[in-house]
Amino acid sequence: MQQENRFDILSGGVEDPNVNGTLKDELIRLPELSITEVFDLKAKLETELDGLFDKLNLQGADLNSNLVTPEGFPRSDVDVLQVRLLRRSINMLRNDLRAVISRTQELMATQFKKMAAKTHKIQDDNVLDYRIPFALVTEVVPGSPSHRAGLLEGDKIVKFGSINAGNNQSLAAIGPVVKKSENAQISIRMLRNGSLQNLTLTPSRNWAGPGLLGCRLVHV
C-alpha cells in the first residue's frame, strides 16, 4: 500500500497548476535535505506564497472575500473558479511551509547539540593542556638552554610546545619536538609553586654540556 504523502501540495494526487513543480519534488525529499537546503526551500515557499497572494489580489479578492452575491449567485466581477483554486493552493502551501519550518527547527536543534558537544570537548582539551602537569623538572644544568630560559628544579610542565598531558606518551613525544625545534623557540607552560607561568626555551648545542636542553624531566 502506498504511503500517504505528508505534504498538502500533492494531496489527492491532483496536480496544482498554481504551484512550482520543482517545489513538489523538494518537499517530497524534505527528510533528506541538509539544513542549508531546507532554509533555501523555506525561502522558495515564502516567495511562492507571495506570488499566489499577488495573483489573488489581481482577482480583486482575498482569502475571506465572499464569492457570491447577496442573491446567492456567483459574482460576475471575479473569476470565481480561479480564486478558489488560488485559495486552495495558498492553504496547501501554508501547511507545507509549516512542515518545512518544523524541519528547520529540528535540524537547528541537532546542529546546536553538535556545537555544544564540540565546545565542551574544546573546553576539556584546554583544561588538559593548561592545568594537568605531565612532567617534573628534577635537574637543571647551569649554563644550559633550560637554565637560560629560566626553568627551575621542581617546575611541573603542563605544556611543552604541542605536547600536553593527553599526548606526551610518557615523555616519548618530547624528543622529536626538541630535535625539530633546535635553535627555535618552544613555548612552555608550567606550574611553579601552584601558579601557572609561561616561558620560552630554545633547544641548542651551543653550550658546554651534552644534549639540547640541559635538564632532566620525569613523567608524573
Return the C-alpha torsion angle 116, 117, 121, 124, nearest 10.
Answer: 70
What CATH number belongs to 135-219?
A: 2.30.42.10
Contact call for residues 144 and 207 (beta carbons, < 8 A): yes
DSSP for 151-204 reads --TT-EEEEETTB-TTT-TTTTTHHHHHHHTTTS-EEEEEEETTEEEEEEE---
Secondary structure of residue 144 in the 3-state scheme: coil
**Spatial distance between the Cα atoms of 55 and 72, rounded to a whole number of angstroms:** 25
**Extents of the domains making up the chain:** 8-120, 135-219
Whole-number Å distance between alpha carbons of 35 and 32: 10
Instruction: Check whether 9 has a pLDDT greater than 90.
Output: no
Please write the tens of the pLDDT for every residue from 34-91. Answer: 888 988 999 999 999 999 999 999 988 899 989 998 888 998 888 999 999 999 999 9
Q: Tally DSSP H helices, then E strands, for the chain.
A: 5, 5
pLDDT in tens, 153-211: 999 999 999 898 888 888 999 999 999 999 999 999 999 998 889 999 999 999 999 99
Evaluate if residue 14 carries a pLDDT over 90. no
The chain-wide mean pLDDT, for the chain, equals 84
pTM above 0.85, yes or no: no
pLDDT score of 28 more than 70: yes
**Residue 72: CB atoms within 10 Å:** 6
DSSP three-state, residue 219: strand
Cell triple for residue 71? 442573491
Q: What is the DSSP letter of 150?
A: T
- 21-28 and 35-58 are packed helices; what angle lies between their axes, rounded to 10 degrees? 140
Q: How far is CA 144 from the centre of its chain?
A: 47
Which residue is listed with cell 606518551? 169
Q: Torsions phi, psi of 165, nearest 5?
A: -65, -20
